A = this chain, B = another copy of it.
Amino acid sequence: MSNISHRIKVFAPATVANVACGFDIMGLALENIGDELTVTKTDDGLLSIGEIVGADNIPTAPEKNVCTVAIKAMMDELDDASGFRVDINKNVAPGSGLGSSASSAAGAVFGANELLGRPFTRQQLVKYAMEGERVASEKAHADNVAPSLMGGFAVIRSYTPLDVFSIPYPEELAVAVIYPSVEVKTADAKKILKTEVALSAAITQWGNVAGLTAGLITKDFGLIERSLQDVIVEPIRSILIPCYDAMKEAALSAGALGCNISGSGPSVFALCKGEERAAQVAKAMGEVLSQYNVGYGHYVSKVNKKGCEVLSA
């Protein structure tokens, strides 16, 4: 049996990737929902998964679990023989479109990095957490792990080389999330996208990306509202989500700045000015699903400023 050197409990927030026009390049972190991980440093040099609470079918083999894969990627760059065990309390449902695997991967490297005395910045941890994403969805995407680690709005300017940065945003921004009880597999949601898009649509999209980026930084809610559009992905993916158009209409009628698919769905998010408005918007969206007897979970939260955080050490 290995000696326990140290143990830490961390919170890793769920995230909304894409944020309408920012497909594959933008994500934001949520407040009230995220995985809790207990990361234990050992001196046996091994990586292992301990208890998993809150989800079935999470792989426990170290080479398949996102947590241990992410920690291994990090440890490969350090001259340190420590091992780690990760116990996972999953609050972000796999397949929800809220960055479930990213939350676990981000929390794992964040916790291990804390136990090692922070050899890496949060920004530097992104590339290791991405390796967790690679085993979860075949692509090492960063638009969930980056906001989960860094908090706020994260932008992935480039993957080769990796270039991730945070952008300022208005404090009042709040998010309403509806998670309909249906399954949309990320792989399926990727498959139905076209590999070619019309140049004219791409131009519209990057006009909105410029608008959203500028709107967030300069706190221009009107510009944020006008820019929260997606002409490339939403028209295709929304067909996988029950009552999508009606939910979106309800969100906008209830005063949301914009409404779109969270990640690859089925969760739907709405950005709002203020939590009170976000609560009204979540209610309006939920009522649409209730009308059609579709079950759902919902969350209302400000944008999470902090990203991953230590709960107890």
Contact = CB atoms under 8 A, between A and B. Distances in A.
Assembly stoichiometry (copies): 2
A194 interface: yes
Contacts of A26: 210
A197 interface: yes
Contacts of A83: none
Interface residues of A, number: 41
A161 to B, nearest CB: 9
A198 interface: yes
Contacts of A167: 210, 214, 218
Contacts of A214: 155, 165, 167, 213, 217
A246 interface: no
Given A155-B207, A206-B209, 17 more contacts: A22-B206, A23-B203, A24-B207, A25-B207, A25-B210, A155-B214, A156-B207, A157-B207, A158-B211, A165-B223, A195-B199, A197-B199, A199-B232, A202-B202, A205-B206, A209-B210, A210-B213
A210 B22 contact: yes
Interface in A153-207: 155-158, 163, 165, 167-168, 193-200, 202-207
B158 A202 contact: no
Contacts of A194: 199
A226 interface: yes
A227 interface: yes
Contacts of A217: 213-214, 217-218
Contacts of A23: 203, 206
Contact of A206 (B25, B199, B226): B25
A214 B155 CA distance: 10
A157 B208 contact: yes
